Chain A
Amino acid sequence: METKKIFEKHKSDILSEWTEAVFSTYPFQTTGFLRTKHDPFTNPVAAMTREAAGILYDALSGDDTDVQTVKQAIERFVKLRAVQEFTPSQGLGVFFLMKPLLRKHILPEMAKGAGDVPACYLELESRVDSLTLLAFDIYTKARETLADIRIKEIRNQYAQLKRWAQQLNESSPLN
């Protein structure tokens, strides 16, 4: 079977298994909610995860995927993981959870019963690595933004006070 067809065949299984794996990183009592509610605004975590799953999968299956487009598409999901109560490895590691799924569903078909792992499959796994690296950039940027907005907020709170104090200083006879 040609690669494209293999990917099409397993799409829904892999997507649902991967989103399931991501949902399982949240507390047990709440995964049911994530699974069952589909409104993008009142269940945003699930919506972001599902969106990321689709994009991720398409990027893995196609070879000419535009980096910028992929980055934009997974941005919301990575930013979410970056501020939730996860260690960085837990936040980003979800991308690697794709690998066991690919090995389960895609590898056997690509290898066609032959014992060896075909080069095309190894390339596929490398694409998981590349996507994770792209996500790493987004993650780091998100954490930097977090630090920046803290500083900016403090500055804004006292903005006029500072301006007023500076004026006083300028008009001081000691100047």
Chain B
Amino acid sequence: MAKLPTPQELVASRPAFPDEAWLDTKPKFAPGSFCYPAKKETMEIMHMPNPHDWDPAADDWNLPDNWEQILCDAFAERLEKHRSLKLFMDICVRCGACADKCHFFLGTNDPKNMPVLRAELLRSLYRRDHTMLGKILGKKVGARGWDKEVVKELFYYAYQCTECRRCSLFCPYGIDTAEITAIVRELLHEVGLGTHWIMDPVKNCSFTGNHLGIKPHSFVEIVEMLADDCETVTGIRPKTPFNEKGHEILFLTPSGDVFADPGIYTFMGYLLLFHELDLDYTLSTYASEGGNFGSFTTFNMAKKLNAKMYHEAERLGVKWILGGECGHMWRVINQYMDTYNGPSPACMEVPKSPITGTVFENAASTKMVHITEFTADLIRHNKLKLDPSRNDHIITTFHDSCNPARAMGLLEEPRYILKHVCNNFVEMPENTIREQTFCCGAGSGLNTEEIMELRMRSGMPRGNALRYVQQKYGVNHMACVCAIDRATLPPLADYWAPGVTVSGVHELVANALVMKGEAKRTMDLRQEDLPNVEADDAAEQGE
């Protein structure tokens, strides 16, 4: 008779000492841990190399016949092109300072999710072909050759890294594993391996200007609809200037905030703020996407998608660009835009706030100002009438989105604004915020629903810190300055800290903004009842 396994056998099934080395343990492609593949047609229409049908769960990924040659050549080319990559391959001393800093590692405890070992997956290949020792001693010095299992492994772990750069903060040499991941993804695209959630927006952005591929007229109509909503709440219908020439400013923001809840409330916040300031600006249907999913595929694609910002600025003849609350958009602008698309068109000038006269010297080169820099400056100069008590039903914390925090150092401005528009602001524990912030777990194109389970693991360190302030200080809201976060944090909060809502900073700004000629506010932008309203009424009647 067969014996039932004991609970110990069922639960603790791994041997005390594994019989294979970590590098030889291969990942299992279980549903929920990998993204769906990009469609062949999408790859074709975007002129990506070697488009083909494939399934991550299948044994055979239908790689092109000469896949190994393609990958070796592509890798050699990247090493030639990016000196940083060569440096990152050479100088890691395996000190382990980065090992426990990755949220994927913390959530999965998978050794290959330690940044040092994630990089080692590529470094081992580098050793064989590009170092003398590796060529001679091979495996003894941690070198290995390419095979199809290695390709799968690279795919698995390159899409379990959100390119958040938390690890690089702790590396004594400043090795940026995010850049290594970006290169691995680039290499994989060379043999036709991409993900649907990234390539589809790339295609849509290329053809229609925004992630969902909504045609310009429909895009405008949706924005009009949001302006109507603004009127319902405030009694004022903000203007929605589109594609108008001769304005001072072009406003650019991720399109997710036009289509998705709760991002739309942040967008409505922009409309109301600009209306109140009577800002000389225009929106664009061509450059209707600040985000850049191309940056999750290849440098060339990122460059191509980003180019429309300056094209449109030039066509419309604006002086500078104001950019909305987005994460990776600002990484691209701050770190790559000059190299990609610079210099900026001749018509553009160093941004200067028309309201306060502040010159944004930090944006002298790109001519692009982050909206929280702009608004913080307005508040600093007392240009906005604010009633923070309208946000009294909220005890908010602030999530530093990886890219604004670590790729552009935007730490104070959003906090400064929040403290002026809300009476209750609480920080999460200090080793989880600012430069050390934990990723939402789904950046860099991993914000797709098929890997929700993986996202709940990788987002756990963030969710855990949020839950802590929820229980300790009654926090019921989390503000952020990233459109991907506005999409990914609500499910994360629903799982790890149910009851916490998520919004952009400018939703709270518009709630607190006292506008000239506005109707008495009884609801917030979400059309939910404002606090203190009845008390006010009673007071008025009593007078």
Contacts and interface: CB of A to CB of B under 8 A. Distances in A.
A153 B106 contact: no
B256 to A, nearest CB: 8
A169 interface: no
B17 A28 contact: yes
Contacts of A37: 100
B125 interface: no
A1 interface: no
A127 to B, nearest CB: 16
A42 B100 CA distance: 8
A153 B447 CA distance: 10
B461 A152 contact: no
B468 to A, nearest CB: 7
B453 A156 contact: no
B279 to A, nearest CB: 23
Contacts of B109: 26-27, 30, 33-34, 45, 84
| Contact residues of A: prevailing secondary structure | helix
Contacts, number: 151
Interface in B168-218: 212, 214, 218
Interface residues of B, number: 60
B452 A28 contact: no
Given A85-B108, A146-B452, A163-B225, A156 B487 contact: yes
A142 interface: yes
Interface string A41-69: 11111001000000000000000000000
B525 interface: no
A12 interface: no
Contact of B456 (A28, A40, A146, A164): A146
Interface in B409-430: 429
A175 interface: no
A150 to B, nearest CB: 4
Contact of A150 (B105, B107, B452, B461): B452
A26 to B, nearest CB: 4
B294 interface: no
A42 B431 contact: yes
Most B CB contacts (10 A, CB to CB) among A30, A48, A83 go to A83
B261 A159 contact: yes
Q: In this complex, which of A39, A79, A156, A159 has the most chain B Cβ atoms within 10 angstroms of its Cβ?
A: A156
B39 interface: no
